[in-house]
Chains A and B, each alone.
Chain A
Amino acid sequence: MSSNQTDPGSPAPKGRGAIPGLIKGLATTARTLARPSHTAEYPDAQPHLPPRSRGVIALLEENCTSCMLCARECPDWCIYIDSHKETIPAPTPGGRERQRNVLDRFAIDFSLCMYCGICIEVCPFDALHWSPEFEYAELDIRDLLHEKERLGQWMPTVPPPPALDPGAPEPAEVAAANKPPRAARPARPATTVRPQPPAAQGDA
């Protein structure tokens, strides 16, 4: 009865034979049977996202100077910015009036956005932030155009920035504030005779 190799794979491929593979298959499925599955039950259980995950872009409107850097760098051209200039009266009499940009519209079209994050990288004033919120699917693609009010609503979901490494240098702002005031420059001796430059020649 040594010919009892009656497994269904048996027109065996030359060489190895089908029986070990079939038994291995049985063993694998049996092992899987004994283990709990690792499926993430997403709608029932929220996923644990890392703090820097890219869900949606939040706008801190006060920080925006309408400099248009983000809109210019955006590879998809999905950022729309409208602004106008306002004149601020001079704070002191006789001073100069100043102008500043006022943001009218800031919108990101998330149906175009490819979540590259370049706008956040280039923003000089930290007006744009990554939020890990990702559940903003819509039934109509036009509803994915988020105006600045909606972008501002994502702001509370932005996690705080990670703490600095223990050995890291101080942040630039802190370092500047903590720097001791510069010592007064020593007065130039009055006796110094400034060397006269040689007279220009033949430059007529």
Chain B
Amino acid sequence: MSHALELVLRTVSVLAAFLVLPLLVGQTEHKVMAHMQGRLGPMYAGGFHGWAQLVADGVKFVQKEDITPRDADRPVFKLAPAVSLVPYLVALAVIPLSPTVVAADVDASVLFVLAASAVGILGTLMAGWSSANKYALLGGMRAAAQLLSYELPIVLATASVALAAGTVSLPGIVHAWHPLWLLWQAPGAFCFLLAAVAELQRPPFDMPVADSEIVFGPYTEYTGLRFAFFLLSEYAGIVVMSLLFAVLFLGGWHGPFADTIGWVWTLLKAAAVAVVVIWFRVAWPRLREDQLQRLAWLVLVPVAIAQLALTGVLVVVTS
């Protein structure tokens, strides 16, 4: 009985985190972008510092008409937002905030997280394919090409960390973590961060949704709440990737008083990473399609492979 209760409790807490953290990131993005661009627009709704901006956005999305194009592949079209959103919930369940604060303690959690977060991409492809719209199809194809290219650096950089720690379990990696890793694994961390931003199709890697050329890419035909789900999945993706970065490269819950407030450290580190991701969006121009592919194959993949080789050599030499 208590086992079932614990299961429900863990599920509910993951669900709560999944509903709160992306909104927190969204709110942060509104405010940070507004400050960085010297704008006052998002500072207006609700009074103090525009706290009600997200509420207003939500109300707006709910009011919109829910449209399905006549020629669309209806079941696929309607399923796509869920397919892009749910995998991040699954991934969030196995990311440990501290040795004790983890919803599901899986052994090969690194593999599990990578596999789960890669499924989210499928939603974008489904949306692009089923919309019966050339712009959406083009955006979907771009998304497919981009995700294919950038999955590789993510996996290689993660493999390097797993190799260094000698385990594929996220808590195990954090246990093996040492501050020197910040230097040693820095190239891999950089690859991971850039590839993660690309994986989320956020600027400067938002070629698939380039609104000036292909309207809004795979999401062209989406309206109202379904569109909002795609946006939400982007922010959920930021949460998952930031937490993953914090756990893999920044030492998760390591810090003063790690025994009691370790999960706060993880959250703080992830928040810092999320702010950096937002910062990239404001500061950098969008990459052209060919530049995007060049960066992946000629820079990120070689650097990640070199990192992997270095890690392998050092692990063999020191053990």
Docked complex: A31-78 residues within 8 A CB-CB of B: 32-33, 35, 37-39, 41
Main secondary structure of the interface of B (DSSP, over half): helix
Contacts of A32 in B (CB 8 A): 35-38
In the docked arrangement, what's the CA distance between A39 and B40, Å? 7
In the docked arrangement, what's the CA distance between A145 and B313, Å? 85
Contacts of B176 in A (CB 8 A): none
Chain A residue nearest in CB terms to B300: A6
Contacts of B187 in A (CB 8 A): 1, 4, 6
In the docked arrangement, what's the CA distance between A38 and B284, Å? 23
Quick check: B284 and A9 within 8 Å, CB to CB?
Answer: yes
Query: Does A112 touch B at the CB level, under 8 Å?
Result: no
* Residue with the greatest number of chain B CB neighbours at <10 A, chosen from A22, A30, A33, A39: A33
Contacts of B302 in A (CB 8 A): 3
Minimum Cβ distance to chain A for residue B177 (Å)? 19
For B173-204 the 0/1 string (1 means CB < 8 A from A) is: 00000000000001100110010000000001
Contacts of A25 in B (CB 8 A): 283-284
User: Number of B interface residues, CB 8 Å?
Assistant: 32
Query: Does B303 touch A at the CB level, under 8 Å?
Result: yes
Contacts of B287 in A (CB 8 A): 8-9
Quick check: B191 and A6 within 8 Å, CB to CB?
Answer: yes
Quick check: B294 and A41 within 8 Å, CB to CB?
Answer: no
Which residue in A3, A5, A29 is a CB contact (below 8 Å) of B282?
A29
Contacts of B36 in A (CB 8 A): 29-30, 32-33
Query: Does A92 touch B at the CB level, under 8 Å?
Result: no
Chain A residue nearest in CB terms to B195: A6
Quick check: B38 and A38 within 8 Å, CB to CB?
Answer: yes
Quick check: A6 and B299 within 8 Å, CB to CB?
Answer: yes
Query: Does B116 touch A at the CB level, under 8 Å?
Result: no
Contacts of A30 in B (CB 8 A): 36, 279
For B98-118 the 0/1 string (1 means CB < 8 A from A) is: 000000000000000000000
- Other A-B contacts than A6-B299, A11-B298, 14 sampled, CB-CB below 8 A, are A1-B187, A1-B307, A6-B187, A6-B191, A6-B303, A8-B287, A8-B291, A8-B292, A11-B291, A26-B284, A30-B279, A32-B35, A39-B40, A41-B40
Q: Which residues of A contact B (CB under 8 A)?
A: 1, 3-11, 22, 25-26, 28-30, 32-33, 35, 37-39, 41
Q: Can you spell out 26 A-B residue pairs with CB atoms less than 8 angstroms apart?
A: A1-B186, A1-B306, A1-B307, A3-B302, A4-B187, A4-B190, A5-B299, A6-B194, A6-B299, A8-B194, A8-B287, A9-B284, A9-B291, A26-B279, A26-B283, A26-B284, A29-B282, A30-B279, A32-B35, A33-B35, A35-B38, A37-B38, A37-B40, A38-B38, A39-B38, A39-B39
7 closest A-B pairs by beta carbon, nearest first, are A25-B283, A37-B38, A29-B36, A29-B283, A33-B35, A4-B187, A26-B283
